[in-house]
A and B are shown apart, each in its own frame.
Chain A
Amino acid sequence: DAKTTQPTSMDCAEGRAANLPCNHSTISGNEYVYWYRQIHSQGPQYIIHGLKNNETNEMASLIITEDRKSSTLILPHATLRDTAVYYCIVRVANQGAQKLVFGQGTRLTINP
């Protein structure tokens, strides 16, 4: 079973920041938080991951709370092409070859 809880759907206006929350209250000390997204008819696309520090890359920022029980993915300037299902997943990164366990994800719709 997935170890994360996400809202089923969200809307955001084009050009604004999209903030996607994720709860992972049972996360273990060696589990990372990963975010993937899936645009219709495509395979899941890796976005970002982090352990306890905030992370930023060319796609997004990841904010993890100090107690690590929740996190927020931020798309700073959302475009129509960011419309997708976003998955938050917790996973041990460096111990063996750990699979990804997907939940239902958040369906994000960017509106013009």
Chain B
Amino acid sequence: EAGVAQSPRYKIIEKRQSVAFWCNPISGHATLYWYQQILGQGPKLLIQFQNNGVVDDSQLPKDRFSAERLKGVDSTLKIQPAKLEDSAVYLCASSSRDLPGNTIYFGEGSWLTVV
């Protein structure tokens, strides 16, 4: 079974530029999550989708971050304009209530450096 796919794996941009990350969850997983992980810290949830609807975006900095999952499958996370403190790993994850324990599976992450 294919895992959660993310791209690009690495990205370096200048502050005030924009960047977009793409995620394709495990097939059939209705729930998709975007997490931000700053170096030395645990991952922090940015946004959670159930199919194409937003369940939780309380920690998403909406003045600069946006995310969509238009067809309920893959998702895009955008940052515009980027700030230095946005340098982090952006992790996508997915889960399905049909699986034992509703286990959440993560992708490898997209590493962002803002200079």
Contacts and interface: CB of A to CB of B under 8 A. Distances in A.
A99 B48 contact: yes
Contact of A42 (B30, B44, B109): B109
Contacts of B101: 32, 34, 49, 93
Interface in A8-53: 32, 34, 42-46, 49
Interface residues on chain A, size class: 20 to 34
Contacts, number: 54
B86 interface: no
B50 to A, nearest CB: 5
A54 interface: no
B102 A97 contact: yes
Interface string B10-53: 00000000000000000000110100000001111100101000
Q: Is the interface of A mostly helix, strand, loop or mixed?
A: loop
Which 10 interchain pairs have the tightest Cβ spacing?
Answer: A102-B42, A43-B106, A97-B31, A93-B102, A44-B106, A102-B43, A99-B45, A43-B109, A49-B101, A93-B101
21 contacts: A32-B101, A34-B103, A42-B108, A43-B4, A43-B93, A44-B43, A44-B106, A46-B103, A46-B104, A93-B101, A93-B102, A94-B102, A97-B30, A97-B97, A97-B102, A98-B102, A99-B45, A99-B56, A101-B45, A104-B41, A105-B42
